[in-house]
Structure 1
Amino acid sequence: MTERTTRAHAEFESSQHAALNVDGGSLDANDVEASGSAADEFRIDLERIRFSSYFARLSDVTQVVPQSGVGPVMHNRLTHSLKVSAVARVIAANLAGAEARHRAFVRGEAREDDATGAIVAKLGGCDTVIAQSAAHAHDLGHPPFGHLGERVLDRVAREKLGLPEGFEGNAQSFRILVQLDTLGRDFPGLNLTAATRAATLKYPWTRAKWIGVSADDIPVSERPRGVGLDPATGAEKFSVYALDKASMDQALAAFPGIGEGRQTVECAVMDLADDIAYAVHDLDDFARAGVLQQAAVAAEFRTWLAGSREFADEATPSLEMRRRNPGASLELLWRRLHMKDDWIADRDAFIVAVQRVSDDLGESLLATPYDGGIDSERAMSGFTRRWIEHLRTSIVVEERPHIRSGHVRLDRQAWHEVMVLKFVHAHFVLERPELALPQRGMAKVITDLALGFDDWLSDPEDAPRAPRRIIEWAEEVTEESFRARGEHPELLLGDTSDAALRRQGRSRAILDYVSSLSDQQAIATHQTFIGA
């Protein structure tokens, strides 16, 4: 075993409560000890996630836009997670193969070393099942209505519910794995190995870690991806809440070759697979549903390509004012990329990427409207297959990556192409004016639910009749907060008086509950609340 696997194996064997019932069978810690195989441990992790009710609910959680908005062909968070898992498995298998070739060379069984495999081995290895587990788990914490619900819950939590840490989907996913989900035993979470838990930490820090660190202190181009610019509220994206930090530290301790604030190899694979699946697979939905219009896409790309030099000379405020004009938004995209990621951003590579996406999307896939026929389906599947194959074979592995990158990333040209593909989502789908009305309605549902439960729990006479899960979670979080105040007060934000910690415990429990609802459950619960 590698050192990483040994650590995970020892951690798993030390647990006295590890068990999973599948199809009437039982596999517990004694079974795993008898098998002596770390692979079995990681497989159990994957099955525990797959059998989780939190995983099942993703079938009714919005991926990019609601299914009701453009028809039944749209991805949801479950189908997205399964495709991320498929892409992650292929990438991880390639890296594991490279690692195996390196180890064969070290043993004298091969004449040539594998440079990529040597790096992977030094970083702790790459296990395909761990990468799949991370992919399955990466969206568990998404609340109803996807990223919209995430933003609303965060704002309500910080502005209305007195919870300085707010809400973050990645941190909620980790909280589900280590605290909220249950196997029906007397321990919290799913009792996953350190390796699997570490593989879910896309942003391995708390929100508070970056409070007070302004762009003057550390420029955006030198900050980890996801941190953001606001020193007052801390990191925009983070993978753990303060009360779950100990579990993060324990998991990352199994990876001595991974630097502080860095993703493990399997986590980097999952993160990359998420980007690829989002950039490519979701475009299928939009094209099939007629959301992407060839004329608008082609106009944006053609105009920018034809006037690239002129756009480069135009002042940013002018571009912002006419961002709806063809070509302006692409130029603004380039400037954001160059500002944030000058370590890899290159205008020539960006031009090539725009041309490639324009040719393959605007001039090919969308040239003929999708009609549901065999030719349309072949064109759609061909587009997806070409891009997935291209991107998964454009992988770079680095022992010492840039702070805004990971140990596993896309090469320069493919990175630009993914940025352009993601731009298509943002500009031609998410910014569609006709989505504004239903999105405001969804935001109201989430807001009303959070504030409604808060009002309910504030009623001393009626609070005991609130959903039992909220009451129990509030008690648990409050106890943990009091304990943290005594042992690690530096982890807590804002007021830490008894009353404030009780208030925060109640608020966190409300967020845990509301975010665990599916889209339809949220709508139905809201209707019940307002007496509809």
Structure 2
Amino acid sequence: MEATDAAVRTGLYESDGPYGEADTARYVPEPDKRPGRTAFQRDRARVLHSAALRRLAGKTQVVDPGTSGAASGDTSPRTRLTHSLECAQVGRELGAALGCDPDLVETACLAHDLGHPPFGHNGELVLAGFAADCGGFEGNAQSLRLLTRIEPKRFSASEVSVGLNLTRAALDAATKYPWPRGGHPVTPDSPKFGAYEDDLPVFRWLREGAPEGRRCFEAQVMDWSDDVAYSVHDVEDGLQAGHIDARALRAPAERAEVFDCAAARYAPPGTTGDELAEALDRLLAQPWWPRHHDGSARAQAGLKDAASQLIGRFCLAAESATRARYGTARLTRYAAELVVPVEQRLECAVLKAVADRYVMQRAAQARRRAEQRVVIEELAHTLLARAPFGLDPQFRAIFEAAADDAGRRRAVVDQIASLTDAAATALHARLT
């Protein structure tokens, strides 16, 4: 994306460009202390300097933080933080190439995982059950809550926290599922949603003028960048750690298990095994695809090149297909839809399934996930029973100010969701 870099260097995207006053508005109006910066540069800085982003360094992506790579001795698998940084790099370049404000897309990518609890989706499932009676739990809805309420930066005139007080466009771009619980436009019982009931006022504000249930263009770029980053890098981490043997992907039995996983969890409905096989074979046929990883410097360099090639393949395919439909205009907000060719979506789905099959489904991981679920379950019930004892001052105040049991339970959920893996384990040990 050299043309994109050149555009940024020459200042093509130094202003808010086609974004209007409604896009750059903040929930609580405030003056800019440093004139010359765009509203979206301020948004990016606020997320980048947030405590919530730093905490992602201690939250599991796929391989637990601190896990050693068996093949190479690597002790640095990706965390939620490094994933978010890599997603932001991918999204910034892809968004800028299509005409989005790069700072706006980067802000959305940096913010998209802020609400994920300790132990990743494993912790999310436990909290969803615990919070069933107070509005449920969803990592993306928690991200919105964190950005607009929990992360302290700005307060309203009535001394109510409005979180980082990001612009409307930034909050909208970070909203992967723009509907409340039970409001999915096609399947109302979907577990995916973007706002809790008591966060609906700010959600309605950020969605003013937006088509119901439709994601803005920047959110679509963020979502595809997220898929690209984690599908590619999870496989890279699995190969690096010795959990994935690239040669196994040519064995019929192994391939069948991967395709079953892809069809069940990652591929579009109705995708056939033959289509998934073609997608995997297209990747295996590439000259840069890793044939074997032995941990040597040459193998590590080859693995990094393969990751780079895959990211370029997926992003350039989306850029080309979107440009083929919309031409050369700057594409922002609700002026376009991101077009991702089905071939690349299936290749991405196969990569996700490879990581799922060989990393997440390992017996050791299954045991560890069971232990993690116990930690979160016991911690939630113990905190609720003993609160306000055990709650941090910020969440203790929320707990004590709550008007009902649902509000008090939500304060406990907020506390747990803010913890790193290690902090959750330590607090569990201390309280139980």
TM-score, normalized by length of structure 2?
A: 0.84
The reply to whether residue 179 of structure 1 matches residue 149 of structure 2 is: yes
Taking the aligned partners of 1:475 and 1:262, their CA distance within structure 2 comes to 37
Total equivalences in the alignment? 395
Residue pair 1:45, 1:192 contacting (<8 A) in 2 also: yes
Alignment correspondent of 2:217: 265
3-state DSSP class of the match of 2:183?
helix
Specify the alignment match of 1:66 in structure 2.
64
Deviation at 1:207, TM superposition (A): 1.2
TM-superposed deviation, 1:389: 1.0
Report deviation, 1:250: 1.2
CA separation of 1:466/1:389 partners in 2, compared to 1, >3 Å: closer, same or farther? closer
Contact 2:228 2:348 in 1 (8 A): yes
Determine the C-alpha separation between the residues in 1 that align with 2:247 and 2:173: 41
Residue-by-residue CA offset, 1:466-518 (whole Å, 9 max, x unaligned): 54322212245x35xxxxxxxxxxxxxxxxxxxxxx11001100000011011
Corresponding position of 2:179: 205
Contact conserved, 1:52 with 1:181, CA < 8 A, in 2?
A: yes
- Equivalent residue, structure 2, for 1:169: 139
8 Å Cα contact 1:360-1:383 kept in structure 2: no
CA contact (8 A) 1:357 1:420 kept: no
1:471 match: 396
Of 1, 6, 21, the match for 1:6: 21
Task: Give per-residue Cα distances to partners, 1:345-398, cap 9 Å, x unaligned.
Answer: 57765342121233459x951x33332x32112211110111111111001336
The equivalent of 1:332 in structure 2 is 260
Please tell me the residue identity of whatever aligns with 2:350: V
Task: List runs of 5+ in structure 1 lacking aligned partners.
Answer: 19-28, 97-125, 211-222, 304-324, 400-405, 458-462, 480-501
After TM superposition, list the pairs within 5 Å mapping 1:354-393 onto structure 2. Answer: 354-360=280-286, 364-365=289-290, 367-371=291-295, 373-393=296-316
Change (3 A) 1:197 1:339: closer
What letter is aligned with 1:7?
A: A
Residue number in structure 2 paired with 1:42: 40
Q: Secondary structure at the match of 1:410?
A: coil
The equivalent residue for 1:120 is none
Structure 1 residue 441: Cα displacement: 1.3
1:144 pairs with 118, 123, 135, which one? 118
Which of 452, 456, 477 in structure 1 is aligned with 2:386? 456
* Greater mean alpha carbon deviation, residues 438-447 or residues 173-182: 438-447
Is the CA contact 2:266–2:349 (under 8 Å) kept in the aligned structure 1? no
Find the aligned partners of 1:290 and 1:330 in 2 and give their Cα distance: 17
Ranked by relative contact order (alpha carbons within 8 Å, sequence separation 6 or more), the top structure is 2
- Percentage of pairs with the same residue: 29
Deviation of 1:5 (Å): 2.4
* 1:222-268 residue CA offsets vs partner (Å, 9 max, x unmatched): x65xx5xxx6xx32111111111221221122xx4x52111111111
Q: Structure 1 residues 410, 245: closer, same or farther in 2, change over 3 A?
A: same
Q: What secondary structure is seen at the aligned counterpart in 2 of 1:326?
A: helix
Distance of 1:198 and 1:180 partners within structure 2: 18
Unaligned runs of 5+ residues in structure 2 are 1-15, 70-74, 327-335
Distance 1:259 1:335, change over 3 A: same
Tell me, in whole angstroms, the C-alpha distance in 1 between the residues paired with 2:260 and 2:119: 28
Q: Distance in 1 between matches of 2:300 and 2:266?
A: 37
Q: Residues 375 and 183 from structure 1, CA distance in 2 versus in 1: closer, same or farther, beyond 3 angstroms?
A: same
Instruction: Name the amino acid aligned to 1:368.
Output: H
Question: 3-state DSSP class of the match of 2:103?
Answer: helix
Q: Contact 1:268–1:407 at 8 Å: present in 2 too?
A: yes
What's the CA shift string for 1:306-328, capped at 9, x where partnerless?
A: xxxxxxxxxxxxxxxxxxx5343
Shift of 1:464: 6.3
Q: 1:440 aligns with which of 357, 367, 370?
A: 370
Q: Is the 8 A contact 1:143 1:150 kept in 2?
A: yes
Measured in 2, the distance between the counterparts of 1:370 and 1:2 equals: 49
1:135 to 109, 114, 117: 109
- 5 Å matches for 1:46-57? 46-57=44-55
Q: Secondary structure at the match of 1:267?
A: helix
CA contact 2:63–2:237 (8 Å) conserved in 1: no
Asked whether the 8 Å contact 2:262–2:349 carries over to 1, the reply is no
Q: CA deviation at 1:465?
A: 7.3
* Structure showing greater Rg: 1
For residue 243 of structure 1, what is the aligned residue in structure 2?
A: 198
